[in-house]
Chains A and B, each alone.
Chain A
């Protein structure tokens, strides 16, 4: 929500008002950060996948938010705006990562893994393998299907929530999800045909 001010007020103040939070108070960047940092970190971690420095992405997202907060004029919620910013920052980071891989400056999976510390080295190894396997398939999906698959299956959002974040209707999101799953199965089968049942156990 945005505070509306008249022309006189705008001319009196050099910049338009900041977005306000649902309680009606003016929302500054500190408030945004406090409320949404973990959410943005989760989005960045899952949308970026292994090899992307999610904390860097979070910092970049809030730097952009700080710079553009004054121009935020909806019509969606702040979370939608933050999600779209996160998505763009992640896309840029992935492009950079692809370039680095192409220049052989980075390994296939980056040094910064995205997971919670687990008990032992074997579990840690298995976890890294699982993540690498899933993201290898996800990276072969079209961007929209990749995003929906991540938000639904990994992030655990409902189709309504995905629709709200992406600005798409629920039916549309379900169609994307349907296609994404079919494509995921197909690509997984192509990439890992020898696995028992197509999946590492």
Chain B
């Protein structure tokens, strides 16, 4: 081959003309190209067809029906949909595999680790069954709702947040829990006792040995279905004696906090909630708002406001946000920060105009003005 960068060189020789000074391969390819060159000359018939079209004029060619079957588009659409659904199913399946469980790690080592029974899909299936709280989920609320609807939410038992003014808001009643879904407890195998008919079938142990889950599940049954927080506490004590470093100790702490709140022992519940965070767990929004309210009830507005502000960092306008606003407003009123408290109360009323503390908030606003 000639050097293409040589400007003085003449036109390169054409392989297909047989003019090559190269090796045998180049000559053979030249011969092949020559044959193809000859064979690819448009046929006379094609030229004739074009000429006949020309006679009619190119504009008429727009009326030539083109072979564009719709079913090909349908095939493409089906392929895309099938691929999408397959990928979606695979992702969904993958998302249900709890790596923490697979790797045998402890639950509290990853704050958001939840068992397969805690996944939303399975939670839906489990609604109405007895609940059990794990620390790693937004539903893991210490004062969790009793699915039987018998016991009031423990948060309602929190001492009222005291205002500096006599006519200040007095949230004696926390907002009723809107959530009705509940978690399914890790449980021992075997049928559910008849006495706890509403409780979950406790065969879905996915973390830890069944022996460890059994006393914990019994504690939750006492707490949620039986309405016996004291009995639940005894069972929890037994659990912690038997399994001091158990895989379900996070769940045990949440259960303990819930039992203590139900018994009105807010100070102890606060310590338990603190322990959860201090030992590597992460408090969910519900647990954090509970702790903030407990701090506020104990007069520790500094820590309470820290929890409330952590919850108000996002842009969500849910019940937890409303509680945080109301709690922060109470603390601000105590500190005499009237205008800031008014803003919080006004925003609270925007989020929950008919909320459980709405009347208190309106009274407080009137007194501030």
Contacts and interface: CB of A to CB of B under 8 A. Distances in A.
Given A55-B46, A66-B58, 10 more contacts: A37-B50, A41-B42, A116-B39, A134-B36, A152-B12, A159-B12, A175-B5, A177-B4, A197-B24, A198-B29
B61 A201 contact: no
Interface of A: 29-30, 33-34, 37-38, 41-42, 45-46, 54-56, 58-59, 62-63, 66, 100, 103, 105, 114-118, 127, 130-131, 133-134, 152-154, 156, 158-159, 171, 174-175, 177-178, 181-182, 184-185, 188-189, 197-201
A29 B7 CA distance: 40
B40 A197 contact: no
Contact of B12 (A41, A134, A156, A177): A177
Contact of B49 (A55, A127, A156, A178): A55
Contacts of A171: 4-5, 7
28 contacts: A37-B50, A37-B51, A38-B50, A45-B46, A58-B50, A59-B61, A59-B64, A62-B58, A63-B58, A105-B75, A114-B40, A115-B41, A116-B39, A153-B14, A153-B16, A153-B33, A154-B36, A159-B12, A171-B5, A174-B9, A175-B5, A177-B4, A178-B4, A185-B25, A197-B27, A198-B25, A199-B25, A199-B32
A46 B79 CA distance: 33
A174 B4 contact: yes
Contacts of A177: 4, 12
Given A154-B16, A189-B25, A131 B75 contact: no
B47 interface: yes
Nearest to B51: A37
B114 to A, nearest CB: 42
A131 B11 contact: no
Q: Secondary structure at chain B's binding surface: helix, strand, loop or mixed? A: helix
Nearest to A200: B32
Contacts of B41: 42, 115-116
* Interchain residue pairs A-B with the least CB separation, the first 7: A199-B28, A178-B4, A174-B4, A115-B39, A197-B28, A127-B39, A153-B16
Contacts, number: 136
Contacts of A181: 1, 15
A1 B29 CA distance: 41
A130 B28 contact: no
Interface residues of B, number: 50
Contacts of B46: 41, 45, 54-55
Contact of A115 (B5, B12, B40, B51): B40
Contacts of B15: 153, 181
B38 to A, nearest CB: 8
A63 B114 CA distance: 62
A63 B66 CA distance: 14
B157 to A, nearest CB: 66
A82 to B, nearest CB: 13
B190 interface: no
